[in-house]
């Protein structure tokens, strides 16, 4: 305990130098920009800056990258709320209620709550990172293919029931998403699935073009059709910018719940941060006093998932620092940066270069603080985006989507997919389907399939061995209870 | 008069035609160069490519952009690069030996060596078989004995290199072992699996988290599936030494589309040679546990030819037992 305080103090002492503060600020600003721009994510920004960081010292590079990562998480929620375009898979859930809120004129409130959520989540997760990295880093290693399967399957359960409404509709969306996830060259056997001889489909249908299409382009198509309520062009009053006291009261518990969920899920490899967002959504809906508002602009539905996705960042750093294993592509980039500076993360790094660790932790706190200071006033600026007339805004959105998608893999196929899914999204939404499960299933489906096959290979085909393990069993049982207990209670009440 | 004019024009034409490449090489590069990395961002290829790109920029005076085009074991990126002009402005940076091996495993049309002009290679990577220290077998021989006595019990993972997994299978064929095989999506994922003891043994490359963990004593090295020495682990034997019929050849290098003017290829080769021998680059790579080593285009091509020869044989060898 004393060691932590000592470490933190020395870290802050070093981090509060002009140079490191500059990099923290630069990182957070860059990160926010990349988060706001749909498509370009923290990974892209880090990739571009990697060679630039070669000339800096390792600590500065780490601070810069951490800033970018956190900043992108903050920025991602902005486009989700204002334009219904998720910047990352982790922002998809924010779109659901966040956008509804902005349609109702509560955009400012949503943005403010998202910012504060992110700040609280960031702080909690950095705290968690500090404690866990030192003592509990081995948790991440307990998760192998069987455990990932459990996470995926349980997450899928939550996903299907997340948006409520018709079970059939949710199932259809989810299954379509999972089916799309099977397209590509199977990495286990090398067999081509549903590629129809198109080489580029070999890498599968990626999340980004589908998300940008179903959310972004479809949105544009819907507005062109004129079915959307014309956005008010009057000046936004300050009162509307900020959440009401009631809204704050409702969001704060959600923020804390989301933070813990996000942090713990971030510890584990795979798309767990994404899963955390919709487990959070589901939880908030169950625990809320106003469940009927979910899907139509409930503030907790923004607070919880936003906290979850930010907290997952801190969680993801734990395995990187403690074990030297990157669990997301962005973390792999951070790892690469460290290695290029001659540092190999792992338990040794924490002992030998403890000062690096503490300085980075300290500047994460500082960065988080900078972000909230930056973002809250910017709420006013961002909200005014909504005042831009449709005929100007929509083409800009299309352009941003195109650039964003192309910037990832320089693939023309991706652009075609963008267009196709834009149309599909339009049709689905006109038909009244909730499209979020489709996108999320696209991400989780492959994870489930891969983990299942890997787990079965390891156990030699023994399914029991895959299911009846301590961590997996507890997840399955907990999920089962989550679903059956309310039903049982309802039944008891009826008698 | 007309005749002389014609002859003069012809001579001018021919000189210009021959002289052009030289002239182009003089001017090369006069616009930014693109490094196409047919693998994911943040991986070993990507990181080393970016490191080299910085140095190339310094040497050639033109910006060098790194573009990732992952998928299909590198085939997507390579096909893309082959579709660009053969002017030396699109350079493939990849584990070319593995890229050539992959189509055989996927049973798709193999790449044609003649389609590429090889610039050179900058780094071999050894694929090492790791195992957790708490296992009853501590050496390669003990591992084989244990596997023989416990058929169907041992699980072996792979860090996304099909070739390496097939080489392990060929060991099993030679020693009459029965083991279970699991493929992971990346060296990182495989490292997590072996560190958490989710598999009994796992092959991944030097430079991965598993390798770094082994440097700290958290994992044991059983054998090197390649043919050279493993940095920091000089005592680990490799399959070639031990007399096994097959081993992996993982070599990171650069190539351009065949038909690129010879002087430009030469210039790229010289730059690669200079850059890979740059002390800063060498130091960084050595610290990561990688071995910087330059091979010129011809030598690199020889390695690729070895690959193209041995991989189909490896597949046949493994298949023969499965059917038998």
The residue extents of the domains of chain A are 2-494
Out of A82-96, A375-389, B158-172, which region has the weakest mean confidence (pLDDT)?
A: A375-389
Alpha carbon of B182: minimum distance to chain A alpha carbons (Å): 6
On whether ipTM exceeds 0.85, the answer is no
Out of A39-48, A292-301, B101-110, B140-149, which region has the weakest mean confidence (pLDDT)?
A: A39-48
Q: Which residues contact A214 (CB under 8 A, 6 or more apart)?
A: A421, A422, A424, A425, A428, A435, A438, A439
Taking an 8 Å cut-off on Cβ atoms, the answer to whether A54 and B54 are in contact is: yes
pLDDT digits (tens, 9 = 90+) for B249-305: 889 999 999 999 999 999 999 999 999 888 888 888 887 778 888 999 999 999 999
Band of the pLDDT at A175, cuts 50, 70, 90? very high
Question: Which chain A positions have a beta carbon within 8 Å of B283's beta carbon?
Answer: 342
Band of the pLDDT at B324, cuts 50, 70, 90? very low
Band of the pLDDT at B320, cuts 50, 70, 90? confident
Band of the pLDDT at A234, cuts 50, 70, 90? very low
Smallest Cβ–Cβ distance between A410 and the set B69, B102, B189 belongs to B69
Alpha carbon of B158: minimum distance to chain A alpha carbons (Å): 10
Calpha distance A85→A218 (Å, rounded): 10
| In this structure, CATH architecture of domain B33-125+249-310 | 3-Layer(aba) Sandwich (3.40)
Smallest Cβ–Cβ distance between B75 and the set A202, A325, A336 belongs to A202
Taking an 8 Å cut-off on Cβ atoms, the answer to whether A200 and B71 are in contact is: yes
The residue extents of the domains of chain B are 33-125+249-310, 127-225
Question: Which chain B positions have a beta carbon within 8 Å of A348's beta carbon?
Answer: 216
Tell me the residues of chain B between 152 and 211 that have a Cβ less than 8 Å away from chain A: 152, 155, 160, 162, 180-185, 188-189, 191-193, 195-196, 198-199, 207, 209
Residue A207: exposed, middle, or buried by beta-carbon count in 10 A (0-12, 13-18, 19+)? buried
Kindly identify which residue of chain B lies nearest to residue A326, measuring between CA atoms: B188
Taking an 8 Å cut-off on Cβ atoms, the answer to whether B185 and A187 are in contact is: yes
Tell me the residues of chain A between 75 and 134 that have a Cβ less than 8 Å away from chain B: none
Domains B33-125+249-310 and B127-225 share a fold: yes
Band of the pLDDT at B129, cuts 50, 70, 90? very high
pLDDT greater at residue B323 or residue A91: A91
Calpha distance A56→A341 (Å, rounded): 9
Average pLDDT over residues A62-88: 84
Q: What is the DSSP string of A159-216?
A: HHHHT-S-HHHHHHHHHHHHHHHT-EE-TTT--EES-TT-GGGGG---HHHHHIIIII
Taking an 8 Å cut-off on Cβ atoms, the answer to whether A332 and B42 are in contact is: yes
Calpha distance A146→B108 (Å, rounded): 31
Smallest Cβ–Cβ distance between B41 and the set A43, A144, A460 belongs to A43
Calpha distance A36→A39 (Å, rounded): 9
pLDDT at position B90: 92
Average pLDDT over residues A346-357: 73
Quick one: what percent of chain A has pLDDT higher than 70? 93
Kindly identify which residue of chain A lies nearest to residue B55, measuring between CA atoms: A51
Q: Please say whether the beta carbons of B209 and A324 come within 8 A.
A: yes
Give the CATH class of B127-225.
alpha beta
pLDDT at position B18: 58
Residue A284 has pLDDT above 50, yes or no: yes
Average pLDDT over residues A400-417: 82
What is the model's pTM? 0.80
Band of the pLDDT at B201, cuts 50, 70, 90? very high
Q: Give CA separation, A355 vs A15, A105, A314, A341, B154, in Å.
A: 10, 47, 18, 15, 42
Band of the pLDDT at B20, cuts 50, 70, 90? low
Residue B57 has pLDDT above 60, yes or no: yes
Out of A166-180, A220-234, A267-281, A394-408, which region has the weakest mean confidence (pLDDT)?
A: A220-234
Count of CB pairs separated by less than 8 Å, A with B: 149
Return phi, psi of residue B63, to 5°: -60, 145
Taking an 8 Å cut-off on Cβ atoms, the answer to whether A339 and B41 are in contact is: no
Calpha distance A156→A275 (Å, rounded): 8
pLDDT at position B91: 93
Residue B2 has pLDDT above 50, yes or no: yes
Q: Which residues contact B142 (CB under 8 A, 6 or more apart)?
A: B136
- Is the minimum CB–CB distance between A327 and chain B shorter than 8 Å? yes
- Is the minimum CB–CB distance between B126 and chain A shorter than 8 Å? no
Average pLDDT over residues A379-383: 77
Q: What is the DSSP string of A439-468?
A: HHHHHHHHHHHHHHHHHHHHHTS-HHHHH-
Residue B23 has pLDDT above 60, yes or no: no
Taking an 8 Å cut-off on Cβ atoms, the answer to whether A323 and B76 are in contact is: no
Average pLDDT over residues A189-201: 75
């Amino acid at each position: 305990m004393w060691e932590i305080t000592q470490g933190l103090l020395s870290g802050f002492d070093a981090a509060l130098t002009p140079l490191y503060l500059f990099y923290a600020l630069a990182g957070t600003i860059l990160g926010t920009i990349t988060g706001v721009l749909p498509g370009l994510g923290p990974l892209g920004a880090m990739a571009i800056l990697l060679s630039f960081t070669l000339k800096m010292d390792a600590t500065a590079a780490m601070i810069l990258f951490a800033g970018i990562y956190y900043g992108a998480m903050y920025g991602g929620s902005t486009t989700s709320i204002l334009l219904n375009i998720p910047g990352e898979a982790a922002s998809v859930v924010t779109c659901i209620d966040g956008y509804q809120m902005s349609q109702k004129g509560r955009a400012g409130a949503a943005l403010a709550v998202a910012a504060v959520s992110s700040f609280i989540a960031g702080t909690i997760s950095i705290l968690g990172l500090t404690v866990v990295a030192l003592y509990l880093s081995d948790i991440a290693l307990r998760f192998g293919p069987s455990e990932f399967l459990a996470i995926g399957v349980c997450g899928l359960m939550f996903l299907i029931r997340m948006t409520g409404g018709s079970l059939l509709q949710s199932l259809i969306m989810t299954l379509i998403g999972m089916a799309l996830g099977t397209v590509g060259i199977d990495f286990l056997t090398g067999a081509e699935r549903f590629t129809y001889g198109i080489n580029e489909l070999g890498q599968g249908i990626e999340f980004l073009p589908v998300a940008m299409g179903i959310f972004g382009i479809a949105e544009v198509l819907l507005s062109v059709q004129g079915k959307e309520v014309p956005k008010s062009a009057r000046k936004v009053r300050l009162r509307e910018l900020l959440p009401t006291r009631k809204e704050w009261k409702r969001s704060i518990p959600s923020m804390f719940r989301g933070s813990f969920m996000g942090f713990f899920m971030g510890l584990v490899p795979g798309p767990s941060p994404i899963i955390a967002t919709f487990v959070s959504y589901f939880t908030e809906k169950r625990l809320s006093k106003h469940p009927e508002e979910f899907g139509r602009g409930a503030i907790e539905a923004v607070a919880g998932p936003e906290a979850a996705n930010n907290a997952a960042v801190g969680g993801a750093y734990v395995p990187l620092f403690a074990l030297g294993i990157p669990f997301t592509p962005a973390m792999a980039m951070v790892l690469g940066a460290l290695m290029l500076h001659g540092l190999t993360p792992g338990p040794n790094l924490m002992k030998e270069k403890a000062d690096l660790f503490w300085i980075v932790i300290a500047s994460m706190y500082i960065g988080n603080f900078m972000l909230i200071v930056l973002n809250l006033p910017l709420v006013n600026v961002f909200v005014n985006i909504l005042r831009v007339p449709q005929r100007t805004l929509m083409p800009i959105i299309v352009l941003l989507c195109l650039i964003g998608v192309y910037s990832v893999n320089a693939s023309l196929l991706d652009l075609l997919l963008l267009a196709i899914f834009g149309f599909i999204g339009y049709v689905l939404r006109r038909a009244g389907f909730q499209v979020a499960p489709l996108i999320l299933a696209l991400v989780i489906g492959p994870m489930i399939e891969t983990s299942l096959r890997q787990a079965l290979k390891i156990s030699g085909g023994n399914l029991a061995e895959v299911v009846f393990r301590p961590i997996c069993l507890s997840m399955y049982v907990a999920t089962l209870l989550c679903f059956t207990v309310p039903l049982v209670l309802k039944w008891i009440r009826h008698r | 008069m007309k005749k002389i004019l014609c002859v003069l024009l012809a001579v001018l034409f021919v000189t210009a035609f021959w002289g052009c490449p030289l002239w182009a090489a003089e001017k090369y590069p006069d616009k930014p160069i693109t490094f196409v990395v047919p693998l994911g961002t943040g991986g070993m290829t990507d990181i080393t490519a970016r490191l080299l790109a910085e140095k190339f920029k310094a040497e050639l005076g033109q910006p060098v952009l790194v573009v990732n085009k992952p998928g299909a074991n590198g085939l997507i990126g390579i096909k893309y690069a082959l579709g660009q002009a053969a002017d030396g402005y699109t350079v493939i940076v990849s584990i070319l030996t593995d890229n050539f091996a992959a189509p055989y495993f996927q049973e798709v049309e193999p790449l044609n060596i003649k389609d590429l002009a090889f610039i050179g290679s900058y780094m071999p990577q050894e694929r090492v078989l790791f195992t957790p220290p708490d296992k009853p077998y501590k050496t390669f021989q003990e591992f084989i004995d244990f596997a023989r006595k416990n058929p169907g019990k041992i699980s072996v993972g792979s860090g996304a290199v099909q070739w390496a997994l097939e080489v392990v299978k060929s060991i099993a064929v030679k020693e009459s072992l029965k083991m279970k095989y699991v493929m992971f999506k990346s060296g990182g994922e495989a490292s997590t699996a072996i560190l958490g003891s989710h598999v009994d043994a796992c092959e991944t490359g030097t430079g991965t988290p598993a390798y770094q963990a082994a440097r700290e004593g958290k994992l044991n090295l059983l054998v090197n599936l390649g043919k050279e020495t493993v940095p920091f682990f000089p005592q680990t034997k490799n399959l070639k030494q031990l007399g096994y019929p097959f081993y992996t050849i993982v070599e990171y290098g650069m190539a351009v589309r065949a038909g690129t003017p010879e002087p430009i290829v030469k210039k790229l080769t010289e730059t690669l040679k200079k850059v890979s021998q740059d002390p800063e680059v060498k130091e960084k790579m050595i610290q990561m546990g990688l071995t910087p080593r330059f091979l010129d285009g011809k030598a690199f091509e020889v390695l690729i030819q070895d690959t193209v020869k041995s991989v189909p044989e490896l597949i046949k060898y493994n298949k023969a037992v499965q059917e038998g």
